[in-house]
Amino acid sequence: MRPALFGRSRTARLTLVASTVALALSACGGGGGSASDNGKVTLTFLSHYGDEPLKSGISKLIDEWNAAHPDIQVKQQAVSFDDLLTTLNVRQTGGQGADILSSYALWGGQLAANGVLDQPPADVAKDIAENYSPAAAAAVTSGTGQVFGYPTEFNTYVLFYNKKLLADAGYDTPPSDWAQLKEIAEKTTKKDSSGNYQVEGLSLIQGGDNQTAHPFFSLLNSAGGTFLGAGGDSALDDTAKSVMQLEADLAKSGATTTSISPTKTFPSNGVAMAIQASWWIGSLKESMKDGYANVGTAPVPGPNAGEKGSLAYAFFTGVNAKSKHRQQAWEFLTWLNSNKNKEGVTGMGDFLATNGLIPPRKADAAILGAKLQATDPNLKPIYEAAGYAMAESNAANGYKAKTSLHNALNRILVNQAPVDQTFNDLIAEISRK
C-alpha cells in the first residue's frame, strides 16, 4: 500500500513538474503567425500603420491584394511605432512572429544577426539594388550585403527655416556654410527678461528616438564624415569632432537648446531654423495652414560654401525567416512594391507619396516627385537630398551606438561638457560593443 501511494505521489509530482515546464516552454516555442486551411494561406503583416491616414492607405492595398488572390490572404496587425520593436521581439521569441514584418532599418542588423529575417529571393534583391534610390537601398542592406527587405518610408534631412524670422534679422537667403549658419542662428535668437526663449535660432533636435542624432548625422555628412563602419566599429574622426564643436559653440551662445520642441514651437514662429526630416512638410502644412508660406527648405550647409549633407533613413518590409509561407510572403511584397497603377506608379510608392513621404523607388520618385515639386517647391531640396544623403547605419550595434551618441551630444548641448573628452569617451563606448 505504502509503495503504491508513494509511487502515485512521485508520478503526480513528475506530472506536475513536467506540465509546468511544458507550460513555460510552450510560450517560447511554436511556429509563425500564418495559418493554412485547404490550400488557402493567411499571412500576418505586423506594421506600425495603426493610425490614420496610414492605416486606411495600407488597408486599401491589402484589400486589393486579398480580392485578387483568394488563396493568399493577408491580415494586418498594427501597433504604434513606440511598441514595434518590443512587439517584434516578444512575439518572435514566443513563436508568434508575423509572416511579414515592417521595421525601422536601424534595427535591421539586429534582426538579421538574430536570424529573424529571411534572405530575399535573388530577383527581389536585384530589384532593390538597381531600381531604388542609392540611399534607400543602402539603408536596408547590411555591411555584409544582406538585403533586409523592400525599402518603404524613406526620409532625408534638410534645413527648414522661417523666411520672416530670417528676413527680420536681415537675411534673405538661408545659410550656405557653417559660419553663416552660426551667425544667423545667433542673430535670430531672442529671449525675454526671465530668460525664456521667444525664438530659438537653430534647433538641433527632432521628435522621436535619440533626438539629437539625426541632425548631427546630417551635419557630419556635410563635412564628409561617417558614423559607423560596416561592422559597427566607430568611424568617427576629426570631422565628427568639428561637428560636435559647432554644436557646442551654438549651445554656449544660447542659439540652440534642447529644452524647446521644434515640432511644437516652429509652427508658432518660435524657431528660426531646424534640421528636420522630410515628413515634417506634411506636419507643418497641417499645423501652420496659411503660415506655411513662410517656410523654406534648403540643403543642410557644410563647413564651406557649396558643401551640403543629409541623413537618409528608411523602413523596410521583410519576411520572417520562421514563417511557414515565406514564398507567398515574398510574392505579396513583390506585388505591393512593384505592381503599377495607370500612372506607372507602384502601390507602395503612391501610398508613401500620398502621406508626404519620398517614394524610395526611383521610377516612382521621378513620376510623383516632379508632380509634387511643382505644387510645393520646398520638396525640391528633399528629393535632391536622396541623391547625396548618407544612409543611416544598420549595424547590429547601430541602435546602441546611436543612443551613446545621443547621450554624448546631450552632455555637450546641455551640460556643456568638453568636446575632446566627450568625443574620446564616445569612441570608447562604441568600441565596447
> Taking CB under 8 A as the rule, does residue 115 contact another protein?
yes
Going by their DSSP bridges, the two strands 150-162 and 40-47 should be labelled as unpaired
Among 36, 86, 253, 327, binds another protein (CB under 8 A): 86
Query: Between 247 and 364, whose beta carbon lies closer to another protein?
Result: 247
Assigned C-alpha cell, 339: 505592381
Whether the Cβ atoms of residue 179 and residue 250 lie closer than 8 Å to each other: no
> Taking CB under 8 A as the rule, does residue 4 contact another protein?
no
Whether the Cβ atoms of residue 31 and residue 95 lie closer than 8 Å to each other: yes
Tell me which H or E stretch contains 249.
helix 238-252
Count CB atoms within 10 A of the CB of residue 51.
11
Among 11, 80, 196, 253, binds another protein (CB under 8 A): 196
Q: Where are the alpha helices (DSSP H) in 69-210?
A: 81-93, 108-113, 122-131, 134-139, 163-168, 178-188
Instruction: With CA atoms as reference, report the closest residue to 54 among 37, 78, 71.
Output: 78
Mark the segment that binds another protein (CB under 8 A) among 60-68, 141-149, 324-332, 411-419: 411-419
Query: Between 226 and 403, whose beta carbon lies closer to another protein?
Result: 403
> Taking CB under 8 A as the rule, does residue 388 contact another protein?
no
> Taking CB under 8 A as the rule, does residue 397 contact another protein?
yes
What is the spatial distance between Cα 150 and Cα 103, in angstroms, rounded to a whole number?
A: 10
> Taking CB under 8 A as the rule, does residue 42 contact another protein?
no
Q: Would you give the binding string for another protein spanning residues 234-263, x where CB under 8 A is met? A: -----------------------xxxx---
Minimum distance, C-beta of residue 215 to another protein, in the bound complex (Å): 16
Among 127, 219, 406, 419, binds another protein (CB under 8 A): 406
Minimum distance, C-beta of residue 350 to another protein, in the bound complex (Å): 33
- From residue 204, how far is each of 31, 213, 248, 300, 330 by CA, in Å? 45, 9, 11, 12, 39
> Taking CB under 8 A as the rule, does residue 400 contact another protein?
yes
* Window 307 to 366, contacts with another protein (CB under 8 A): none
Among 399, 419, 426, 430, binds another protein (CB under 8 A): 399
* Window 9 to 28, contacts with another protein (CB under 8 A): 9, 16, 20-21, 23-24, 28
Among 46, 78, 98, 111, binds another protein (CB under 8 A): 111
Instruction: With CA atoms as reference, report the closest residue to 415 among 273, 265, 258.
Output: 258
> Taking CB under 8 A as the rule, does residue 93 contact another protein?
yes
Q: Phi and psi dihedrals of 100, rounded to 5?
A: -115, 130
- 89 CB-near residues (< 8 Å, 6+ apart): none
Written as one letter, the residue type at 397 is N
What is the spatial distance between Cα 279 and Cα 146, in angstroms, rounded to a whole number?
A: 27
Written as one letter, the residue type at 158 is V
Among 52, 71, 306, 432, binds another protein (CB under 8 A): 432
Residues 193, 194, 198: CA angle, nearest 5 degrees: 75
Query: Between 324 and 380, whose beta carbon lies closer to another protein?
Result: 324
Minimum distance, C-beta of residue 196 to another protein, in the bound complex (Å): 5
Assigned C-alpha cell, 128: 532593390
Among 70, 194, 306, 342, binds another protein (CB under 8 A): 194
> Taking CB under 8 A as the rule, does residue 415 contact another protein?
yes
> Taking CB under 8 A as the rule, does residue 414 contact another protein?
yes
CA dihedral 86, 151, 71, 50 (to 10 degrees): 50
What is the spatial distance between Cα 136 and Cα 124, in angstroms, rounded to a whole number?
A: 15
Query: Between 137 and 250, whose beta carbon lies closer to another protein?
Result: 250
Query: Between 362 and 406, whose beta carbon lies closer to another protein?
Result: 406
Binding residue count for another protein, defined by CB under 8 A: 45
Give residues in contact with another protein (CB under 8 A).
9, 16, 20-21, 23-24, 28-29, 85-86, 89, 92-93, 110-111, 113-116, 194-197, 209-211, 257-260, 396-397, 399-400, 403, 406-407, 410-411, 414-415, 417, 428-429, 432
